[in-house]
């Protein structure tokens, strides 16, 4: 039976014992963010959940116990992070973006390296084609730089092309790179200098352990974080089937604004962005298109940071989305039957 819960103090940090237990639980077999939350709620803490997992797995009919992350494995992961200058941030702690805490089943822990204060500023994502055109990359640099001047932090996935252009242009004012592997793993290799610069002057972020080499399936997970930490996602050049469109789709599900830059119908790199515009994305030809759309959101009260659970407290319930956009309100107000207006 879960112990009686009491409301934790706002902004409370995990102690070392709790942090180790959280890391062990999220690294255990078949435990993702949603399962992590359910287990901690059910058993009143990460350590209690770890102790209960073998029994749960046997009740579920498994022939062998579920593989638990050992204390030594978790300690080694923390030591590896310390060696590269990264820290482990939990929900509500410094370096954990407030917007990310509002998505459905946010990662309970992320590794961060660099200027942690950037996570507290308004963030806009810019993503696009890895083979971005010269014109597309020029426009990306203009938008990223203009957003920085206006006090926004630009987040992207440090991929080739549009992502790289966005990071380079925003580095002076503030940029966040979400990586698919460990913070110390560089991909693509030619962005090693850029990744190092972001780790010193910007912020690197990953939910993976140091030393983890990304696989194909890890990039959509990264894209979920890119959209999750941002107020909106700007797509600049994207083919019909591209990772950038995955990010845009995730942004829509997370209640984020989706922006798209139009392109020539003859350029396959514009097929995805043009389709986004047909589906209702906000058209962007100038930074003012982004600023005007986000202005009402920025005037809303900031949601309180997620509260952390101690060993005898339940994990906080899912928080509401940052807020509905005007478009969301219109869509919800529409009836199911078509009507003709004159």
Cα-flanking dihedrals φ and ψ of residue 164, to 5°? -60, -45
Residue 59 counted as domain residue: yes
pLDDT tens track for 1-44: 333 333 334 456 889 999 999 999 999 999 999 999 999 999 99
Q: Of all residues in the chain, what percent carry a pLDDT higher than 70?
A: 83
| 54 and 148 both lie in a single domain | no
Residue 124 counted as domain residue: yes
| 169 and 257 both lie in a single domain | yes
Give the span between the Cα atoms of 3 and 5, in whole angstroms: 6
Classify burial at 201, counting beta carbons within 10 Å of its beta carbon; exposed 0-12, middle 13-18, buried 19 or more.
middle
- Structure tokens that stand for 285 in this block: 């030809």
Instruction: List the CATH number of the domain containing 131.
Output: 3.40.50.450
How long a stretch of residues is the chain? 342
Which contiguous run of DSSP H or E holds residue 88?
Answer: strand 87-90
Instruction: Give buried/exposed letters for 238-259 (b at 16+ CB in 10 A, else e).
Output: bbeebbbbbbbbbbbebbbbbb
Cβ 122 vs Cβ 322: under 8 Å: no
| 116 and 75 both lie in a single domain | no
> Which residues have a Cβ under 8 Å from the Cβ of 237 and sit 6 or more positions away?
128, 129, 132, 133, 136, 161, 162, 244, 261, 263, 267, 269, 270, 272, 273
The pLDDT of residue 260 is 98
| 22 and 145 both lie in a single domain | no
pLDDT tens track for 171-194: 999 999 999 999 999 999 999 999
**Model confidence at 301: pLDDT above 90:** no
The pLDDT of residue 56 is 84
Please state the domain count of the chain: 2
Cβ 81 vs Cβ 87: under 8 Å: yes
| 201 and 55 both lie in a single domain | no
| 219 and 292 both lie in a single domain | yes
Of 240, 179, 171, 236, nearest to 210 (Cα)? Answer: 179
Cα-flanking dihedrals φ and ψ of residue 127, to 5°? -135, 165
Cβ 68 vs Cβ 53: under 8 Å: yes
Residue 166 counted as domain residue: yes
Residue 87 counted as domain residue: no
Cβ 128 vs Cβ 163: under 8 Å: yes
Residue 325 counted as domain residue: no
Determine the angle formed by the axes of helices 243-253 and 271-278, rounding to 10 degrees: 20
| 43 and 118 both lie in a single domain | no
Domain boundary among the residues 67, 82, 97 is at 82
Per the listing, tokens 């242009």 go with: 169
Residue 260 counted as domain residue: yes
| 285 and 206 both lie in a single domain | yes
Domain boundary among the residues 32, 61, 82 is at 82
The pLDDT of residue 92 is 85
Domain boundary among the residues 43, 67, 82 is at 82
| 289 and 151 both lie in a single domain | yes
Q: Of all residues in the chain, what percent carry a pLDDT higher than 90?
A: 75
In which region does residue 93 sit, left (phi positive, over 0), alpha (psi from -120 to 50) or beta (all else)? beta
| 57 and 125 both lie in a single domain | no
Domain of 18, in residue numbers: 11-82
Question: 44: how many CB neighbours lie within 10 A of its CB?
Answer: 22
- Structure tokens that stand for 181 in this block: 């592997």
pLDDT tens track for 62-81: 667 789 999 999 999 999 99
| 131 and 58 both lie in a single domain | no
CA distances from 89 to 78, 107, 109, 164, 229 (A): 11, 10, 6, 25, 14
Residue 317 counted as domain residue: no
The pLDDT of residue 170 is 98
- Structure tokens that stand for 220 in this block: 């959509």
The pLDDT of residue 26 is 97
Q: Average pLDDT, stretch 91-104?
A: 91
**Model confidence at 215: pLDDT above 80:** yes
| 202 and 151 both lie in a single domain | yes
């Amino acid at each position: 039976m879960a112990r009686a819960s009491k409301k934790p103090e706002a902004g409370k940090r995990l102690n070392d014992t709790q942090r180790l237990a959280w890391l062990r639980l999220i690294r255990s077999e078949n435990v993702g963010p949603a399962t992590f939350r359910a287990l901690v709620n059910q058993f009143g803490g990460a350590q209690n959940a770890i102790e209960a997992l073998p029994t749960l797995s046997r009740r579920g009919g498994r022939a062998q116990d579920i593989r638990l992350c050992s204390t030594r494995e978790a300690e080694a992961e923390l030591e590896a992070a310390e060696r590269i200058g990264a820290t482990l941030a939990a929900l509500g702690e410094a370096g954990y973006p407030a917007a990310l805490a509002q998505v459905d089943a946010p990662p309970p822990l992320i590794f961060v390296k660099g200027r942690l204060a950037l996570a507290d500023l308004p963030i806009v994502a810019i993503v696009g084609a890895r083979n971005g055109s010269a014109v597309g990359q020029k426009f990306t640099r203009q938008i990223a730089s203009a957003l920085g001047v206006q006090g926004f932090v630009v987040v992207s996935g440090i991929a080739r092309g549009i992502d790289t252009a966005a990071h380079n242009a925003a580095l002076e004012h503030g940029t966040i790179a979400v990586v698919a592997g460990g913070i110390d793993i560089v991909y693509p290799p030619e962005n090693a200098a850029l990744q190092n610069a972001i780790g010193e002057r910007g912020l690197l972020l990953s939910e993976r352990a140091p030393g983890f080499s990304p696989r194909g399936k890890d990039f959509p997970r990264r894209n979920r974080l890119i959209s999750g930490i941002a107020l909106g996602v700007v797509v600049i050049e994207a083919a019909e089937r591209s990772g950038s469109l995955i990010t845009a789709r995730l942004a829509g599900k997370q209640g984020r604004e989706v922006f798209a830059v139009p392109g020539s119908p003859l350029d396959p790199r514009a097929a995805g962005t043009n389709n986004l515009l047909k589906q209702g994305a906000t058209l962007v030809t100038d930074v003012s298109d982004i600023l005007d759309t986000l202005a009402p959101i920025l005037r809303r009260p900031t949601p309180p940071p997620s509260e952390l659970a101690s060993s005898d407290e339940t994990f906080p319930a899912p928080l509401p989305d940052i807020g509905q956009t005007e478009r969301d309100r219109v869509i919800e107000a529409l009836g199911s039957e078509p009507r003709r207006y004159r």
